[in-house]
Structure 1
Amino acid sequence: MSTSVNGAGVAIVSEAVCEQIVGRPEAFKAVESVFGAMARGDAYNFPVVREAIGHADALYGFKSGFDRAGMVLGVKSGGYWPGNVQKDLTNHQSTVILFDPDTGRLKALVGGNYLTAVRTAAASAVSIAYLARKDAKVLGMVGAGHQSTFQLRAALEQRAFEKVVAWNPHPEYLSRLAAVCDELRVPFEAVDQQQLGAQADVIITITSAFEPLMMKEWIKPGTHIACMGTDTKGKQEVDPELLAAATLFTDEVAQSISIGEAQHAVASGLISESDITPIGEVINGTHPGRRDDQEITLFDGTGVGLQDLAVASAAANLALEQGLALRIAL
């Protein structure tokens, strides 16, 4: 059997196989690399299509792009089905389709549900690795949904955090985060939003909010914030004044100002597009990132198709190397 995703036939990589072979290190490396390629102009996302289909309250769409550096071409197809929770299914459903950039031939079909969660967590982890203070001790979590535990585990690997503080609009869900902290032997405390801002050196917001949950005056100097929930027009997790006070970074500037956390600060004239730096520039060494320990840094993680393609390509190659992918002839 060929161990390259470029071999004969189509590779099919299931959700279970993705969970088995793609861990946080593999996802971090894939996302870090593609962010760097984007900043160099070696990779670019195509326009996103996202539509309400008029059935089951579902949103459905496509994220696509081409990474010339990694020679990865493809599309993530899927969306959000809010009623799936009653069917014991994940609300977010997606599949990544990879093509041969040289011929256009179909190369692989890769389950995208787990990879979406792990690539989103990898993005915030990359931002912490490059932008948080080296002496950061307290991690703050705003949100306790399905994605939050992926975020928490990835973040805890980036600094020697001594404590986790967390808030969620529905406090009963904080037990998810508490369980992870108990497993990893990290002290955990449920707090209100102001207490979270006062204590945390790094804050991750991962909610589906449409209003600010963290205000500028609650954030102490030197904090790094990763806003990971805002990916649609109208969504919002933090005070626009906070973006005006911070040094801003993102995965893709065009998405940041249109559907990301920065949309509100731009619309109100507090910041402009030129105030936002692609995090790939920090990865590539063309931007210094954090300049001092008093600076507030903020990463607007909007989620780009190239992240999905990067981790899906890694999954396909690893599955083939380990004989875990199903091959079918076209």
Structure 2
Amino acid sequence: MAKWGEGDPRWIVEERADATNVNNWHWTERDVSGWSEETLRRLLLGVGVAGSEGVCQLTEVSRLEGEASINNRKGKLIFFYEWQLKASWTGTTNSGIKYKGGLEVSNLSDENDPDDLDISVSLCKDQPNTALLDLMKKDGVQKVRKVLGEYVTLLKSEFSQGMILPTADGVNQPQPANQNQAKTNRTQISSAPSPAPSPAPRPAPSSTPSCTGVRIPTCSFSLKETFLTSADELYRTFTNQEFVQVFTHAAAVVEDRRGGKFQLLDGNVSGEFTQLVPDEKIVMRWRFKTWPSEHHATIGLDLKDRGDETELRMECRGVPSAEEERTKEGWRRYYFEAIKQTFGYGARLY
């Protein structure tokens, strides 16, 4: 039995003396307004633009009103944020003349994308007209949209990871995801040409993992796991990009459609969905980065809803024989155990 206060990782209700609401399973809410204010101020005060007219810099956030929170319901994260802000900016022409102005955002919320925000820029009343105002309206507004988008990304992909499954033994928190990776252009990945069919077998396998056109021995294996959740929630955990980023603690690209590409764990795992039957079956072409180039295994996940739990059967074919144990361990550790620990779907391991 897990022992409270002795660092046993099975005790994951760190701050509840009565040990209720295990895994934050039923409902938890975290007020992140303070963190949001600090983050927004830091990001906004880093905004500066330069052009042929001169340079401009946000110098003060004079108003920042609103709130933000994260809710967790059975492993589903719900984000709420609503902010109104005003900032001051200072511009300096190439000849050294200084101007002052203001910037206002009235609708930063979970209902609006950064591109839909209303951002107004103006000069102070006593300031004469200047080309620096146009610089701020064009490049300055673009920079502000970018940093407000970064705030939303941080809220969802970095700060919120502590919301699910806190541990009593101080398990390390995931490192912040690289925001450029988190915003990888999904269109570029989906439009990439499909991997070419495996070439005809050739003799003399090479010892270099990245070579092509070689003949390698492969194997098949199966695994079985039970998760304390419904089939629809487990299906979404494997196919929804935000859920994948949460349990892998890293940026990921996941296109949840037939033919959709996926890439996770810093590019060490990639592939393509070949069959998706919602809440029942997932089939994919899957590979480790270190496997011979263009070689994929075929992995099928069958989900059987058993009431308050779901049985998952995994069938894997075409794994390089030398990679069998590593592949099994990778799935157990980076998929099954990570999902259970993150979302509270823990159950016995087979």
**Same-fold call, TM cutoff 0.5:** no
Larger helix fraction of residues: 1
The structure having more radius of gyration, on CA atoms, is: 2
Larger strand fraction of residues: 2
